[in-house]
Structure formats: structure tokens, C-alpha cells
């Protein structure tokens, strides 16, 4: 047997898996592209023309490392949210920032509270640093705020994760409920409040920022409403001392100049963002109508996707597989109670046309198998 340097015991214990199988992987396996890419909650409406122009201009400077402080972008974000630049750290998307938070707060055996069926990438990072997941079942189609708080207190957990609006169901809590949840947590429990879908949510779902509260980290991204998923840019808003802790471990040259320029241009084009949000809302309505036309219900959503209730796990699985066979990329939750749904991202009209026809066929085929 070939000898090799050993992995750490923790790394050796982890499976060689990823939280999500990418659509490109599935396309390679099938030997053909998807006709409709509606499974990754990307923004198929595309970025602002100003972003494309900014990328073109920044391309001339790719020989340079990006500004390690992301100074211009942080200043613009601070102005946008009514905080100070020292309240903000920019990183490689929320996924990358979640990994940094896990590294800051988790040691092997550390209890970490989240929802059963919540964002798998967060769980992936927790496992990667040896944390012990403490999961709280959803209350219906909503993350269980009371249950999460009780678990945090019982476990004396240093980390609690909540997404609002929620992925994978698209539901949301109003700001008052979220604020009460924040205030009920122990001061020693850090809340990661993932607001990836904050722009697509009603304003009433987003609490006011408290830039001096030391146990809340609020995460935002340019991947969803701003259509920059491929640029990998997210940010955290928190209390300055907490934000400075990221400097201990972050990749200081991890944010390319092109990404910073694109994100800044996206942030500044308010008119385009408003137009995109109108298109997102209209497409959510259309997806709900497609569900209703097929005698199914959908979950009211504040995100850029809609969860369609197929009536049971087996039917939902069959429908998803039927859609994949028809070259339509969607996903579904795997957790009991949530797994009766498929999750369909909003997208351009032509892709929704493809989904509409394929969905009716896949649903009929699923029913015929029973």
C-alpha cells in the first residue's frame, strides 16, 4: 500500500461530499445542458448593464491584487445601511463568510444550533470544524424561533443560525418577531442572521440594524437580487470589535478587484434593482399560478424561489426527477415535513415556459406511477 501523509483525524472522519451537486455536474452526467436552470436560486434576469460596463473597465486591472480592505465597497455599504465601515467585512459570498464564522467560534464538540432542514452549507462548515449540530424541527413551514432559543439556552451554544427569509421554504418572520428572538438569546450566543434574500423580502421583515450589539452577525449577498452569484461577494454587518475578529483569519486578498467593482456598480444602480425586484415578484406569482393550475398549492415566498407542495415526499421526488429527465433543473428539501415540496427559482419567461410544460408532464407521470 502506498504511504501518504495522514489527514487530521477530523478531516479523515468527514465524507468527501459537497452540500449541493452543481447543475454543471448534472449536465455532464446527462451529456446535455438544461433547458431551464431553476434550481440554484440564482438570478436569471442578469445584472445591471452598469455592472457589465464596470467589469469591462476593471478587467484592465486584473494584474493587480484587489484592495484587501474593500474600502470603496465597504464605504458604500455603510452608507446604504446607515452604519460605519468598521461595522462591515466583505468576503467570498455568504458561504465563505459562514466558514470564517465557524472557524472563529467552533472547536471540536462545540454545540451549534440550527433548524432541521436549514441551509446545508452552514452544516457543512460546522462539521468541517468539528462542531456538534443541534437541530430544531420547523414549526410548519417556518423556522421555530422559540425552539431555537430554547436549544441555545439548554446547550449554552456559542452559535445559532437563522435565515430570514428562509431557505428552502421561502417563508419569513416579521421584524418584530426576529427582534424578540434576538433579545431572548443569551448574550454569549452569537446569532448568524442570514439575510441572503433581504432585498426580495418585505421591508417589514428586516429589523433595524443595531451596530453595537455584540452577539448578532447579519449576512447579505450580491448573489441573489443583484445577480452576481458568479462574482462571490457577500458581507457581514456587526459590532466593530466582532468584525475586527475576521481580520485574524480571513483571506485578505480574497476579493478580486473585478468583483469589488461589479458589486459597487450593482449597489449604485437602484433603478435596475427596483426593476429586478418587480420581475422577481411577478415570476413568483406566475409560479404560484402554475402550481394552482395543476391543483397544487405553493408556499407564500419572500425570496427569489417558490416552494410547490406536491402533496407528499414520494410525489415530490418523482416530480423533481421527472423535471430533471426533461432537462429542467430544480431542487427539493430532503427533511421530513419539508420534503413534500419542490423548490423552483424564478427566471426569465422562456425558462418558465419550459418549466410550465415539463411540470405538467412530470406531475402526470408521477401520478401514473402510483
pLDDT at 20: 85
CATH number at residue 330: 3.90.1150.10
Instruction: Evaluate whether 106 touches 145 at the Cβ level (below 8 Å).
Output: no
Q: What is the DSSP string of 193-230?
A: EE-TTTTTS-GGGSPPP-TT-TTEEEEEESSSTT--GG
Domain count, the chain: 2
State whether 241 and 347 are in the same domain. Answer: no
Residue 370 pLDDT greater than 80, yes or no: no
Give the mean pLDDT of 90-114: 97
Asked whether the beta carbons of 41 and 167 are under 8 A apart, the reply is yes
**Residue-range definition of the domain harbouring residue 362:** 21-41+271-369
CA-CA distance, 84 to 227, in Å (whole number)?
Answer: 25
284 and 204 within one domain:
no
> Does one domain contain both 238 and 226?
yes
Instruction: Give the pLDDT score at 100.
Output: 98
Last residue within a domain, chosen from 229, 248, 268: 268
Same domain, 276 and 305: yes
Closest CA to 93 of 263, 306, 270: 263
pLDDT tens digits, residue range 192-223?
Answer: 999 999 999 999 999 999 999 999 999 999 99
In angstroms, the CA 144 to CA 159 distance is 16
One domain for residues 36 and 54: no
- The pLDDT, as a whole number, for residue 181 is 98
Q: Does residue 16 form part of some domain?
A: no
Same domain, 336 and 257: no
92, 255 in Cβ contact below 8 A?
Answer: yes
Average pLDDT across the chain, whole number: 97
Residues 146 and 242 reside in one and the same domain: yes
In a domain, residue 179? The reply is: yes
* Local confidence band at 369 (pLDDT 50, 70, 90 cut-offs): confident
Residues 224 and 251 grouped into a single domain: yes
Instruction: Give the pLDDT mean for 340-368.
Output: 97
Whether 56 and 265 have beta carbons less than 8 Å apart is answered as no
Q: Are residues 32 and 54 in the same domain?
A: no
pTM of the model: 0.95
Strands (E), the chain: 36-37, 88-91, 111-115, 132-136, 159-163, 190-194, 216-221, 234-237, 297-298, 305-309, 328-329, 341-345
Question: What is the average per-residue pLDDT within 235-250?
Answer: 98
Q: What are 18-59's pLDDT values in tens digits?
A: 888 899 999 999 999 999 999 999 999 999 999 999 999 999
Question: Do 305 and 208 belong to one domain?
Answer: no
Residue 351 lies in a domain: yes
Residue 1 has pLDDT above 70, yes or no: no
Task: Convert the pLDDT of each residue in 142-156 to its tens digit.
Answer: 999 999 999 999 999
- Whether residues 90 and 220 fall in one domain: yes
Q: Residue 199's domain is classified under what CATH number?
A: 3.40.640.10
C-alpha to C-alpha distance for 241 and 239, rounded to whole angstroms = 6
Amino acid at each position: 500500500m502506498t504511504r501518504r501523509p495522514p489527514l487530521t483525524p477530523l478531516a479523515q472522519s468527514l465524507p468527501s461530499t459537497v452540500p449541493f451537486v452543481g447543475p454543471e455536474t448534472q449536465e455532464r452526467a446527462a451529456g446535455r445542458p438544461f433547458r431551464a436552470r431553476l434550481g440554484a436560486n440564482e438570478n436569471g434576469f442578469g445584472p445591471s448593464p452598469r455592472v457589465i460596463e464596470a467589469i469591462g473597465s476593471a478587467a484592465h486591472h486584473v494584474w493587480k491584487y484587489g484592495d484587501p480592505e474593500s474600502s470603496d465597497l465597504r464605504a458604500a455599504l455603510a452608507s446604504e445601511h446607515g452604519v460605519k465601515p468598521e461595522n462591515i467585512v466583505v468576503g467570498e459570498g455568504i458561504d465563505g463568510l459562514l466558514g470564517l464564522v465557524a472557524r472563529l467560534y467552533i472547536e471540536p464538540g462545540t454545540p451549534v444550533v440550527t433548524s432541521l432542514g436549514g441551509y446545508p452549507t452552514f452544516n457543512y462548515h460546522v462539521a468541517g470544524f468539528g462542531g456538534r449540530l443541534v437541530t430544531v424541527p420547523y414549526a410548519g413551514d417556518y423556522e421555530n424561533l422559540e425552539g431555537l432559543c430554547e436549544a441555545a439556552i439548554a446547550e449554552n451554544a456559542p452559535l445559532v443560525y437563522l435565515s430570514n427569509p428562509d431557505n428552502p421554504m421561502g417563508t419569513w418572520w416579521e421584524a418584530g418577531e426576529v427582534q424578540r428572538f434576538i433579545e431572548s438569546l443569551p448574550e454569549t450566543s452569537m446569532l448568524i442572521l442570514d439575510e441572503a434574500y433581504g432585498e426580495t423580502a418585505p421591508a417589514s421583515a428586516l429589523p433595524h440594524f443595531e451596530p453595537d450589539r455584540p452577539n448578532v452577525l447579519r449576512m447579505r449577498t450580491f448573489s441573489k437580487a443583484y445577480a452576481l452569484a458568479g462574482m462571490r461577494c457577500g458581507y457581514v454587518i456587526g459590532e466593530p470589535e466582532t468584525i475586527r475578529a475576521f481580520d485574524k483569519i480571513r483571506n485578505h486578498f480574497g476579493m478580486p478587484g473585478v468583483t469589488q467593482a461589479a458589486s459597487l456598480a450593482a449597489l449604485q444602480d437602484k433603478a435596475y434593482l427596483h426593476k429586478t425586484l418587480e420581475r422577481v415578484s411577478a415570476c413568483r406569482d406566475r409560479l404560484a399560478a402554475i402550481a394552482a393550475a395543476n391543483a397544487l398549492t405553493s408556499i407564500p415566498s419572500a425570496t427569489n424561489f417558490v416552494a410547490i407542495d406536491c402533496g407528499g415526499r414520494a410525489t415530490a421526488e418523482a416530480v423533481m426527477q421527472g423535471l430533471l429527465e426533461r432537462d429542467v433543473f430544480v431542487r427539493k428539501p430532503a427533511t421530513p415535513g419539508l420534503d413534500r415540496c419542490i423548490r423552483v427559482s424564478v427566471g426569465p419567461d422562456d425558462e418558465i415556459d419550459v418549466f410550465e410544460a415539463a411540470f405538467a408532464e412530470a406531475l402526470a407521470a408521477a401520478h401514473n406511477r402510483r
